[in-house]
Amino acid sequence: MARGILRTDRLILREITLADLPFLHRIFGDAECMRYYPGIKSFDETGSWFQRLAFDSYANHGFGLWAVTDRQSGTLLGDCGITLQETSAGLEPEIGYHLWRDHWGKGYAAEAASACRDYALEALGRARIVSIVRPDNIRSQRVAERVHRRRETFVKAAGSDGDKVEFHLYITKKS
């Protein structure tokens, strides 16, 4: 049984299990869901993604990407969680989220990401938490604007070719 991590009014965030991977691959294998990534992922690539950012991260850091489920029905909606990502300030905890498109526009991403923000600052004692968003990803920007207090711009290498890409860095610091 997967361990529950966070509860909100409508959601439970719990550890991802191997049984979740087929549904999560539905997201990572979908061109519309992965529009702002270099491309869609194969099932094996999806498994490697969650091995690194969920299973290994749980063991090494005590956090990672978590399954986002509907609190009433238990339906898996996608993932949201905290991973360590390179930013202009170095390696920082970052909130990421991916939901199946049927669940877009319902406030689930902002609700889950806000719970992750509070968990990072309070339970994990982090001084700062960020979200990295591409400037053309308007939906994700709207989520990040609801979750964070400040926005900066930074440039990092993206994709296998190492091209430099500009990103928005949304930031919340512990009060």
Pairing type for strands 90-99 and 164-173 reads unpaired
Q: What is the pLDDT of residue 1?
A: 46
Rounded distance, CA 37 to CA 98, Å?
Answer: 11
Using a 10 angstrom Cβ sphere, with 0-12 exposed, 13-18 middle and 19 or more buried, the burial of residue 160 is exposed
Q: C-alpha angle with apex 67: 53 to 148, nearest 5 degrees?
A: 75
Rounded distance, CA 119 to CA 84, Å?
Answer: 15
Q: Tell me the residue type at 6.
A: L
Structure confidence by residue, pLDDT tens digits, 107-128: 999 999 999 999 999 999 999 9
Rounded distance, CA 98 to CA 137, Å?
Answer: 13
Q: What is the pTM of this model?
A: 0.93
Domain ranges for the chain:
4-131
Q: What is the pLDDT of residue 164?
A: 82
CATH 3.40.630.30, applies to 4-131: yes
Asked whether 156 and 167 are in contact (CB, 8 A), the reply is yes
Q: What is the pLDDT of residue 158?
A: 67
Structure confidence by residue, pLDDT tens digits, 123-151: 999 999 999 999 999 999 999 999 999 99
Rg of the Cα trace of the chain? 15
Q: What is the pLDDT of residue 2?
A: 57
Could you say which residues of the chain have pLDDT below 50?
Answer: 1
